[in-house]
Structure 1
Amino acid sequence: MKTTLLFPLILLFACSGPAQKSGLRALEEEIRSLMQATEGDFGLAFRMLDDTDRELLINESEVFHAASTMKTPVMIELYKQAAAGEFDLQDSIRIVNEFKSIVDGSSFRMDLGVDSQEELYERIGEKATIYELMYQMIIKSSNLATNILIDRVDAKNVTQTMRDLGAEDIQVLRGVEDLKAFDAGLSNTTTALDMMRIMEAIALGKVEGSAEMVQILSDQYFKDLIPKLLPPDVKIAHKTGSITGVQHDTAILELPGGSRYVLVILSKNLSDVPAGKEAIARMSRVIYDFVAEN
């Protein structure tokens, strides 16, 4: 009797592993076909936030310009330093528009025309809380707020904290629009694997202020990449990034049934940006369908 009862269970567990691998292989083929159909270069990292160790990594160690995805590490550093007593997130800080290049210390200013949060420029000389600037840095990707906050926490500290989280390659060297640094090849860079580890740390509560950060990321204003083709009942906490030929999205997702996963899609060298954005949205939908069906 025991042998008869156990045999189906043994067969179930023996088949579950290969079945999962087969599903991931089919998923990878579909994702790669979308990448190959779009002119540009992509990196992708997907991992379920459960005990199955299901993940998909494609060009996960390829280096990309971080664009605004580096603002999430800055937010992590802000919460870390606040927890250490360096400051309170409700402390006031002056809104300024003068920063120093990491190349030679010369001054530069932010250009309103290349920022996505214009309202802050009308308040230069006034004060705002650190939390308000951090919130605008994330939800509307304010470059001005980012530079003010990086001056406060120091980019070197941000990078070191990412190393402590297991992100081995990400480099947060500077703020935004430091053109001398850009011309010298000194840019913020990341990989899909590192961004997955960073978002996973937030999702699993491994960093100070994780729950608050998830809420802030959930208020993201730009929703035309990973969220675009997903049902409205999917909870998405994410941070986008874009510069010329580059479109990124880094996300924590939760389905109505409780399934949770991290998805990072990075891109560069996009000759047709709308096509690249559509490809990213379709990759996201394919992965959503995989999670929903499994």
Structure 2
Amino acid sequence: MDWGALDNDLDAVPGTVSVCTGPLAGPPTYTRLPDATHYAASTMKAAVLAALYRSDVNLDADVPVHNVFPSALSGSYGCTREYDSDPAVWERLGGTAPLRWLATRMIVRSSNLATNIVLGHTGLPAVAKVWDQVGARHSVTVRGIEDAVARKAGIENLVTAADLAALVTAIAAGAPPNAAGHSTPTSTASAGPDAPRHATDPPRSGEGGLASPEACRAMLDVLLAQERREDLAAGLPPDTPIAHKNGWVPGVRHSAGVVFPDDAPPYAIAVCTTTDLPDEEACALLARVSATAWAARRA
């Protein structure tokens, strides 16, 4: 399937499908409604991860594992065990766990409980700074997971495909090569302060990187360890490295990451879907988009 055929495929989908994909250095190779806003679901956890790794918090410190969090509006709230996809964090409820471990569970198993605990140590303003740092135009993280009071008041976490692509690009672009040889390009900011900014561009020189090279490398390694591989990863050849975070609720399936081919430069891909499709079909749709981007990786 080429991009034209993909367009026809996506035109037939009931709802909104947004795509932004391209090399880490330079303009996107394909976009579709890249600035349309979607409910963030768990993709906001990638921004929370960046906020934590940008902070001066001791990641190896043991912190309480609790389930009472201040609402973004008023009062407090907690997560629902049955709604969480990771039982491992709940097994430590009432005890302690290292922040680094909680941050990892937040990504690789999309733990809601871990997310709210980590968010309590970063604060919402720090996450807002992450979005600002990567040049996000529309994405916001304004409440924790299952903050029902804030949600009923219309306080919602939002993302776009372009902003998610910019976030994962900034993480990958800031990371030095690791022992496995997963290398990433540096910022393409040499075009100057007035040059047009592309959705997949990392922060420009002079703006500062998203985090230190060591922190970006650590974040990238967490994203590479993602265990939920039923959408973007499903469209790639087996064992292809992809550093990504996905998110889902009924009617919503998103995923954003950086793919590391062994025969082409790495590329970012973000797909957001707000549709009437069952989740299994939405996952298959993301896999088709991913497969098309893979086929175009050397174009």
TM-score by length of 1: 0.85
- C-alpha contact 1:140 1:222 (8 A) present in aligned 2: yes
Q: Secondary structure in 1 aligned to 2:291?
A: helix
Query: CA–CA distance in 2 between the matches of 1:229 and 1:192?
Result: 18
- What are structure 2's unaligned runs of at least 5 residues? 175-208
Amino acid in structure 1 at the alignment position of 2:71: S
| Cross-structure match for 1:181 | 150
Distance 1:233 1:273, change over 3 A: closer
| Cross-structure match for 2:63 | 93
Query: CA–CA distance in 2 between the matches of 1:164 and 1:122?
Result: 35
After TM superposition, give the deviation of residue 54 of structure 1 in Å. Answer: 4.7
Distance 1:157 1:178, change over 3 A: same
Q: Secondary structure in 1 aligned to 2:263?
A: coil
Query: CA–CA distance in 2 between the matches of 1:273 and 1:136?
Result: 22
| Cross-structure match for 1:119 | 88
Query: CA–CA distance in 2 between the matches of 1:150 and 1:53?
Result: 32
Asked whether 1:81 is paired with 2:81, we answer no
Q: Secondary structure in 2 aligned to 1:38?
A: coil
- C-alpha contact 1:38 1:276 (8 A) present in aligned 2: no
Q: How many residues align?
A: 262
Distance 1:59 1:90, change over 3 A: same
Q: Secondary structure in 1 aligned to 2:267?
A: strand
Amino acid in structure 1 at the alignment position of 2:286: I
Query: CA–CA distance in 2 between the matches of 1:215 and 1:256?
Result: 17
Asked whether 1:129 is paired with 2:98, we answer yes
Residue among 40, 44, 53 paired with 1:66? 40
User: CA RMSD for the aligned pairs?
Assistant: 1.5
| Cross-structure match for 1:207 | 210
Q: Secondary structure in 2 aligned to 1:187?
A: coil
After TM superposition, give the deviation of residue 260 of structure 1 in Å. Answer: 0.8
After TM superposition, give the deviation of residue 152 of structure 1 in Å. Answer: 1.0
Query: CA–CA distance in 1 between the matches of 2:280 and 2:110?
Result: 20
- What are structure 1's unaligned runs of at least 5 residues? 1-25
TM-score by length of 2: 0.84
Listed as ranges, the matches of 1:131-210 within 5 Å are 131-205=100-174, 206-208=209-211, 209-210=215-216
- C-alpha contact 2:102 2:114 (8 A) present in aligned 1: yes
Q: Which runs of 4+ in 1 moved over 3 A?
A: none
Amino acid in structure 2 at the alignment position of 1:207: L
Deviations 1:181-209 (CA, angstroms, capped at 9, x unpaired): 11111110011111111111011103221
Residue among 266, 277, 280 paired with 1:271? 277
Residue among 1, 5, 15 paired with 1:40? 15
Residue among 261, 274, 285 paired with 1:255? 261
- C-alpha contact 2:3 2:292 (8 A) present in aligned 1: no
Amino acid in structure 1 at the alignment position of 2:266: R
After TM superposition, give the deviation of residue 163 of structure 1 in Å. Answer: 0.6
